[in-house]
Homo-oligomer: A and B are copies of this chain.
Amino acid sequence: MPSYHPPTKDMQFLLHEVLNASASDIPGYDELDRDFTAAILDEAGKIAAEVLQPLNAVGDHEGCTLENGVVRTPTGFKAAYDQMREGGWMGLDADPDYGGQGMPHLMGSAVGEMFVSANMAFNMYQGLTHGAYSALHAHGTEQQKATYLPNMIEGRWSGTMNLTEPHCGTDLGLIRTKAEPQDDGSYRITGQKIWISAGEHDMAENIIHLVLAKIPGGPEGIKGISLFVVPKFLVSEDGSLGDRNAVSCGGLEQKMGIHGNATCVMNYDGATGWLVGEEHKGMRAMFTMMNEARLGVGLQGYAQGAVAYQNALGFAQDRLQGRDITGAKNPDGPADPIIVHPDVRRNLLAQKSFVEGARAFVFWGAQMIDRAQRMDDAEADAMISLLTPVIKGFLTDKGFETTVLAQQTLGGSGFTREWGLEQFVRDARITMIYEGTNGIQSLDLVGRKLGQNGGKTVMAFFEMVKAFLKENEDHAELKSGFLDPLKAASKDLQAAGMYFMAEGMKNPNNALSGSYDFMHLFGHVCLGLMWSHIAKAAYAALEAGTADEDFYRTKLATGRFYMARHLPATAMHLARIQSGAEPVMTLDAANF
């Protein structure tokens, strides 16, 4: 059976030595001192390891069941959900005006990683609630907020997002669900939505569905979409639950993974709903949820990699097979632990260097969100908007790959259910798909985000990298091990951007054919930047003197591995990009 060890030490290092959180000028960050964050992380880690992780395999084996319209979650889920509610974890970073704890998004991400590593399927119930909370918080009326938010923050009510229909996922302009205005200001919602995570379950008293639908007579396509709030139980004026609304679960999907989460077909049969935000402006409101969800999915990707790595490492340190070619390391045993073998180490370091770099990337992004939201910082907002598809696409591709590598460390045991690695692979797989496939992320990046603000944001990214390189160029070891490869990778990224500008003008397919590689190229540069920051902090600690030299030297060795072994991928991605549209577009669709 797999186990989980909360990576609180690494998180504390990131918060206090890399990001220097409590010294930040972002409102609320001043209280994030070491003791405070340690207390939160330790407590969250305990719940993750002791409450959520043991239910992970249970959820996978039992799955959810649907009977007479009622969805039952796996054994133990309800009790764990109640425990999370009682601990106030669901409102950790929510608005205090509605009962939240008002902590920075940064802390929400750190805590979230542990919950997701421990039990991704379980954590989705509250993750979806959080997304719905954010959309209502940003776009709901005062009355809607007062009605829904406190209950959602408390976890008494959960939330969902309803976009996909059988004939349309990515292309939401095609949706058919209709919302007919009623005399009392409400709407009658009719249609079918599919793949609705946490659409129906037995853990919350009410479920607040946010639903995209078209008001008859509105504009065609994406411009005619509005957002509605449709509660499972109607809410009386006094806040008590009234009649059951005409929304029901018509089926559960049989899926490759995340069996503990109910993926529902939702039927709206003239359900009563209320408009959220403006008529026909539903996509704008939905994007609030979607951007948050995309960052959350990026986090899921590396969080699955993180727990998979831990279990691969444990196996590699225990399993005895073969001998170190340079001399036995366990001469009294029948063989050496397999971690002595170079190829096993290569595999483990690929996992470790990705997970720790990704964690830094997500924490850094979370800090950017806090800056954007708490200081109305438009530049930070633009930067996280640029990086969102990279976080989602790159971290889930590589997060999945990491679970596959971890599974490989175990050999045959990795393929058996008993060891649990194969569940991480199956669960992580969805992260590359939902909230916009990674192909869609790459289109968002190249087709929309690169050009935002006339390209100023991506230029600001390059300037930031350049400034960091310049600032630290006198540190010889940092320079040779980290800054030089980062510089080369960043140059590749710039060259790719230049190619898109020059050739994409002539033919947009020259850019679109390289979008996926560009997303990966960008991801490597971001992780290279993160490792450079981590290395800078590690050198600083070692130079200042520390009782924990091993920790910092390990950071440096892990980072050097990433720079030496993974950053060379940027040249490959650039070469592919520069081959342009021809190899991709030549073939007739009929001849594939």
A195-B589 in contact (CB<8A): no
In the complex, how many angstroms separate the beta carbon of A158 from the nearest chain B beta carbon?
Answer: 21
- Could you tell me if A174 and B345 are in contact, using CB atoms closer than 8 angstroms? no
Instruction: Let me know if B571 and A583 touch, CB within 8 A.
Output: no
Given contacts A564-B583, A587-B557, contact A442 B343 (CB under 8 A): yes
Residue A385 interfacial (CB < 8 Å): no
What separation, in Å, do the CA atoms of A340 and B585 have in the docked complex?
Answer: 9
Interface of A is mostly: helix
CB <8 Å contact, B429 and A425: yes
A342-376 to B contact mask, C-beta < 8 Å, 1/0: 11111111001000000000000000000000000
* Selected interface stretch from A9-17, A103-111, A210-218, A318-326: A318-326
B426 to A512, Cβ gap below 8 A?
no
- Which residue on chain B has the smallest CB distance to residue A407? B429
Does A554 make an interface contact (CB < 8 A)? yes
Which of the residues B342, B415, B430, B437 comes within 8 Å of A584, measured between beta carbons?
Answer: B342
Which stretch from A83-91, A234-242, A252-260, A270-278 is at the chain B interface? Answer: A252-260
- Would you give the shortest CB distance from A313 to chain B, in whole angstroms? 5
Q: Contact between A576 and B568 (Cβ–Cβ < 8 Å)?
A: yes
Q: Is the CB of A585 within 8 A of B256?
A: no
The reply to whether A583 and B560 contact each other, CB–CB distance below 8 Å, is yes
User: Which among A317, A352, A404, A592 has the highest number of chain B CB atoms within 10 Å?
Assistant: A592
Pairwise interchain contact A254-B575, C-beta atoms closer than 8 A: no
Partner pick for A408 among B255, B433, B507, CB 8 A cutoff: B433
Nearest CB in chain B to that of A256: its residue? B422
> Contact between B432 and A168 (Cβ–Cβ < 8 Å)?
no
Whether A565 sits at the interface, judged by CB under 8 Å, is yes
Out of B254, B349, B415, name the residue touching A255 (CB < 8 Å). Answer: B415
Is residue A558 contacting chain B, with contact meaning CB distance below 8 A? yes
Give A514-567 interface residues, CB cut-off 8 Å to B: 515-516, 550, 553-554, 557-558, 560-561, 564-565
**Which residues of B sit under 8 angstroms from A586, Cβ to Cβ?**
557, 560
The digit string for A159-197, where 1 denotes a CB below 8 A from any CB of B, is 000001001111100100000000000000000001100
A433-B412 contact, Cβ under 8 Å, with A569-B572, A583-B561, A591-B550: yes
Check A256 against B417 for contact (C-beta < 8 Å): yes
- Whether B411 contacts A170 by the Cβ 8 Å rule is yes
Task: Tell me if A416 is interfacial: C-beta within 8 Å of chain B.
Answer: yes
Contact residues in B for A571 (Cβ distance below 8 Å): 568, 571-572, 575
Q: Say yes or no: B345 contacts A584, CB within 8 Å.
A: yes
Q: Pick from B168, B325, B515: contact of A343, CB below 8 A.
A: B515
- Is residue A434 contacting chain B, with contact meaning CB distance below 8 A? yes
Q: Which residues of B contact A343 (CB under 8 A)?
A: 439, 442-443, 512-513, 515-516
Q: From A512, which residue of chain B is reached at the shortest CB distance? A: B342
Q: Flag A51-72 by CB within 8 Å of B: 1 or 0 each.
A: 0000000000000000000000
Contact of A171 among B322, B414, B415, B434 (CB under 8 A): B322
Contact B592 A313 (CB under 8 A): yes
Report A93 CB to chain B, min CB distance, Å. 28
- What's the nearest-Cβ distance from chain B to residue A164, in Å? 7
How many Å lie between the Cα of A412 and that of B437 in the bound state? 8
Q: Which residues of B contact A569 (CB under 8 A)?
A: 572
Q: Does B254 contact A417, Cβ atoms closer than 8 Å?
A: yes
Report how far A434 CA is from B439 CA in the complex, Å: 32
- Per-residue CB contact flags for chain A residues 386-425 toward chain B (1 = under 8 Å, else 0) read 0000000000000010001001100110111110001001
A407–B553 alpha-carbon span in the complex (Å): 40
Cβ-based interface call for A101 (8 A): no
Q: Are A346 and B516 in contact (CB under 8 A)?
A: yes
Stretch at the interface among A37-45, A331-339, A451-459: A331-339
Chain B residues, CB < 8 A from A340: 589
> CB distance B584 to A321 under 8 Å?
no
Cβ of A341 under 8 Å from chain B:
yes
Q: Known contacts A170-B322, A561-B583, A571-B572: does B592 contact A352 (CB below 8 Å)?
A: yes
Contact between chains at A564 and B589 (CB < 8 Å): no
Chosen A-B contacts, 16 in total, with CB atoms closer than 8 Å, are: A171-B335, A256-B422, A325-B509, A325-B512, A339-B589, A341-B512, A344-B439, A349-B583, A349-B584, A400-B404, A550-B588, A557-B586, A560-B586, A561-B583, A564-B576, A569-B572
Interface on A for B, CB 8 Å cutoff? Answer: 164, 167-171, 174, 194-195, 253-257, 313, 316-317, 320-322, 325-326, 329, 334-335, 337, 339-349, 352, 400, 404, 407-408, 411-412, 414-418, 422, 425-426, 429-430, 432-434, 437-439, 442-443, 507-509, 512-513, 515-516, 550, 553-554, 557-558, 560-561, 564-565, 568-569, 571-572, 575-576, 579, 581-589, 591-592
Which 6 pairs show the lowest CB-CB distances between chains A and B? A568-B575, A256-B422, A342-B512, A171-B321, A564-B579, A254-B417
| New contact pairs (11) apart from A174-B335, A326-B507, A565-B584, CB-CB < 8 Å | A167-B320, A171-B322, A195-B412, A253-B416, A254-B418, A317-B592, A345-B585, A412-B434, A415-B433, A422-B429, A572-B572
